[in-house]
Amino acid sequence: MNQGSTTKGIMLIGEKESFLIRVLLKKLGEAGIEAFFVQAKIDRVDAEWNRASAVTYYLDNAEHVKPDMMHYLQDKLNETDKRIALIGEKTDAEETKRYLSDDLILEIFLRPLDTDKYIDVFSRHLIRLSSEEERKSILVVDDDPTYLGVIREWLRGTYRVAMVNSGLQAIKWLGMNTADLILLDYEMPVTSGPQVLEMLRSDPETSSIPVFFLTGKSDKNSVMQVMSLKPQNYLLKSIEKDELLLKLDEFFRK
């Protein structure tokens, strides 16, 4: 299994493979950057997702933003720790941007497109990704999107970070990727942290992945209950950034 963020190439999404998109694909190829077009349909994008290290959404003049597609992209970018660039008119780009977290947007390119700048931005981004491939990867599982965002910002400079907001999404993600460590929320609706841990341990593909539970309860009985499931460790959700990084560094140095 491969971590999605370490694959090569740029996925160029659009309503249709227009002349301008074909020109951009050609220029990327001439610059030595693998790139491919995918029509802006969720099933088609999903089928090709793991071929890409980064994504570009090319907004045509007459294109209306599709909320379902944007929600899909927001979740998928979070899950795989990838970035997206937007190309379009200012109003179209601003409307699209409303659906995406700022930290997921690599760059916004207004038309007419400055192709040289576009290629330079992605060349630098792919080089940076290549240098990060040796970093340890961490999957964070929590149903609180605000908490996920904070943890991702804390860890991003040191680790490759993927995020999902439910236990079932974690199992699905691990069916196509792997991680060096899972930070797993102990209390989640539908499928709790302990249930996820049980599923992980019952599958030979995931049974050896270390798990740290995330818990908001620090009283002795709660901690004993968490540790009775024998995770590698547990972390209080009130932990500060420096302490979290220290604990993770100590764990990976063992």
pLDDT at 191: 86
For residue 205, the one-letter residue type is E
pLDDT at 1: 39
pLDDT at 109: 96
Q: Residue 84 to residues 164, 174, 187, 221, 249: CA-CA distances in angstroms?
A: 18, 22, 31, 44, 29
What's the domain range around 171? 137-253
The answer on 113 and 141 residing in a single domain is: no
**Structural domain count of the chain:** 2
pLDDT at 70: 93
- Tens digit of pLDDT at every position of the chain (254 positions): 344 444 468 999 999 999 999 999 999 999 999 999 999 999 999 999 989 999 999 998 666 678 899 999 998 998 888 999 999 988 888 888 889 988 899 999 999 999 999 999 999 998 888 877 778 999 999 999 899 989 988 998 889 899 999 999 999 999 888 899 999 998 888 888 889 999 999 999 999 999 999 988 777 777 787 788 888 888 999 999 999 999 999 999 87
Q: What is the CATH number of the domain that holds 176?
A: 3.40.50.2300
Q: Which distant-in-sequence residues (6+ apart) come within 8 Å of 226 by Cβ?
A: 186, 213, 215, 234
The answer on 247 and 226 residing in a single domain is: yes
The answer on 145 and 84 residing in a single domain is: no
The answer on 211 and 237 residing in a single domain is: yes
Tell me how far apart the alpha carbons of residues 222 and 210 are, in angstroms, rounded to a whole number. Answer: 21
The answer on 46 and 60 residing in a single domain is: yes
pLDDT at 184: 93
Contact of 178 with 210, CB cutoff 8 Å: no
Contact of 50 with 2, CB cutoff 8 Å: yes
Handedness of CA 142, 144, 150, 153 (dihedral sign): positive
Dihedral angle over CA of 94, 100, 104, 107, nearest 10: -10
Domain stops at, among 97, 132, 167? 132
The answer on 217 and 103 residing in a single domain is: no
The answer on 144 and 93 residing in a single domain is: no
